[in-house]
Protein backbone atom coordinates (compact mmCIF):
# COMPACT_ATOMS: atom_id res chain seq x y z
CA UNK A 1 0.00 0.00 0.00
CA UNK A 2 1.22 3.47 -0.82
CA UNK A 3 2.14 5.45 2.35
CA UNK A 4 0.59 8.66 0.98
CA UNK A 5 -2.89 7.14 0.73
CA UNK A 6 -4.63 6.28 3.98
CA UNK A 7 -7.31 3.62 4.05
CA UNK A 8 -10.77 4.98 4.82
CA UNK A 9 -11.01 3.17 8.15
CA UNK A 10 -8.00 5.14 9.46
CA UNK A 11 -9.43 8.54 8.57
CA UNK A 12 -11.39 10.11 11.43
CA UNK A 13 -14.95 11.06 10.57
CA UNK A 14 -14.88 14.08 12.87
CA UNK A 15 -12.73 15.94 15.39
CA UNK A 16 -11.26 13.30 17.70
CA UNK A 17 -10.15 15.76 20.35
CA UNK A 18 -13.46 17.59 20.37
CA UNK A 19 -15.97 18.05 23.14
CA UNK A 20 -17.67 15.29 25.01
CA UNK A 21 -20.96 15.85 23.24
CA UNK A 22 -22.84 18.03 25.67
CA UNK A 23 -21.49 21.33 24.42
CA UNK A 24 -23.38 23.48 21.96
CA UNK A 25 -21.77 24.45 18.66
CA UNK A 26 -20.37 27.98 18.39
CA UNK A 27 -23.40 29.05 16.40
CA UNK A 28 -26.97 27.90 16.11
CA UNK A 29 -29.29 28.05 13.17
CA UNK A 30 -32.43 28.62 15.27
CA UNK A 31 -31.69 31.90 17.01
CA UNK A 32 -35.38 32.70 17.56
CA UNK A 33 -35.95 29.39 19.31
CA UNK A 34 -32.88 29.84 21.49
CA UNK A 35 -33.93 33.38 22.37
CA UNK A 36 -37.44 32.21 23.23
CA UNK A 37 -36.12 29.42 25.48
CA UNK A 38 -33.68 31.80 27.19
CA UNK A 39 -36.47 34.28 27.90
CA UNK A 40 -38.65 31.48 29.25
CA UNK A 41 -35.97 30.44 31.74
CA UNK A 42 -35.02 33.99 32.69
CA UNK A 43 -38.64 34.92 33.42
CA UNK A 44 -39.43 31.82 35.50
CA UNK A 45 -37.31 31.60 38.64
CA UNK A 46 -38.36 27.99 39.37
CA UNK A 47 -37.25 26.83 35.93
CA UNK A 48 -34.03 28.80 36.24
CA UNK A 49 -33.31 27.17 39.62
CA UNK A 50 -33.92 23.70 38.17
CA UNK A 51 -31.64 24.49 35.24
CA UNK A 52 -28.81 25.81 37.41
CA UNK A 53 -29.13 22.83 39.78
CA UNK A 54 -28.85 20.43 36.84
CA UNK A 55 -25.84 22.28 35.43
CA UNK A 56 -24.21 22.14 38.87
CA UNK A 57 -24.86 18.38 39.10
CA UNK A 58 -23.27 17.84 35.70
CA UNK A 59 -20.29 19.96 36.70
CA UNK A 60 -19.76 17.95 39.91
CA UNK A 61 -20.03 14.69 37.99
CA UNK A 62 -17.51 15.88 35.42
CA UNK A 63 -15.07 16.95 38.14
CA UNK A 64 -15.46 13.57 39.89
CA UNK A 65 -14.75 11.70 36.65
CA UNK A 66 -11.70 13.85 35.93
CA UNK A 67 -10.34 13.30 39.45
CA UNK A 68 -10.90 9.56 39.08
CA UNK A 69 -9.01 9.60 35.79
CA UNK A 70 -6.10 11.53 37.28
CA UNK A 71 -5.92 9.29 40.36
CA UNK A 72 -5.94 6.13 38.25
CA UNK A 73 -3.39 7.41 35.77
CA UNK A 74 -0.28 5.28 35.89
CA UNK A 75 -1.65 2.71 38.30
CA UNK A 76 -1.46 -0.86 37.15
CA UNK A 77 -4.79 -2.62 37.03
CA UNK A 78 -3.64 -6.11 37.86
> pLDDT tens-digit profile of 49-73?
999 999 999 999 999 999 888 887 7
CA dihedral 35, 37, 43, 47 (to 10 degrees): -150
- Please tell me whether the overall predicted TM-score, pTM, comes out greater than 0.75 for this model: no
pLDDT score recorded for residue 5: 59
Is the predicted pLDDT of residue 7 greater than 60, yes or no? Answer: no
Q: How many CB atoms lie within 10 A of CB 47?
A: 13
Q: What is the pLDDT of residues 8-26, one digit of tens each?
A: 554 555 554 555 555 555 5
CA distances from 12 to 2, 8, 15, 18, 21 (A): 19, 8, 7, 12, 16
Is the predicted pLDDT of residue 48 greater than 60, yes or no? Answer: yes
Pair 27, 33: CB distance under 8 Å: no
Amino acid sequence: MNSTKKPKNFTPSNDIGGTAGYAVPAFTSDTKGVSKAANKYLNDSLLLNKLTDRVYELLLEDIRIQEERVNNYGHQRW
